Amino acid sequence: MSAAAFILAAHGSRLASANDEVRALAARLSEILGHPIRAAFLELALPSIADAIESAAKDSPSEILILPYFLTQGKHVLQDIPAIIAAEAERFPKLKMRLLPYLGQSEGWAEQIAERIRSNLF
C-alpha cells in the first residue's frame, strides 16, 4: 500500500483554458508538496472525479483525499461530490476515501481576500 492519493475536484468548464488552470494548479501543488495531485472535474471536463478515483485506486493508496475546489457550500459540495465518493466507495470497499473541507472553508481565506483588496487600494 502506498501513501495517500490526492484529488483536486473542480466543477469543470466549457472553456478549456479554465480547466487547464485547474490542471496547472494541481501540477504546482504536486511540486510544492512533492506528491502527485490529480485534477478532476464534476462535469464538462475530464477526467471525472469517479475516473480520478479509479485511477488513483490502481496505485493501492492508503486512502484517497478529495479536496473540493469550490468557494461555497452549494449543491455540488453538499450532495453531488459526496454521492460520487459514496458510489466509488462501494466499488472499492477496502479503500478509505475522505472528503476534505471545500476551499472556501479554509483557515485564513478571509485574510487572504482582505490582503488582495488592501494591496489594490493602497
Contacts of 91 (CB under 8 A, 6+ apart): 54
pLDDT in tens, the chain (122 residues): 679 999 999 999 999 999 999 999 999 999 999 999 999 999 999 999 999 999 999 999 999 999 999 999 999 999 999 999 999 999 999 999 999 999 999 889 889 999 999 999 86
Query: Which of 7, 98, 96, 1 lies closest to 56 in space, CA to CA?
Result: 7
Ranges of each domain in the chain:
5-121
Half-sphere exposure of 65 (CA within 13 A, CB side): 12
**CATH architecture, domain 5-121:** 3-Layer(aba) Sandwich (3.40)
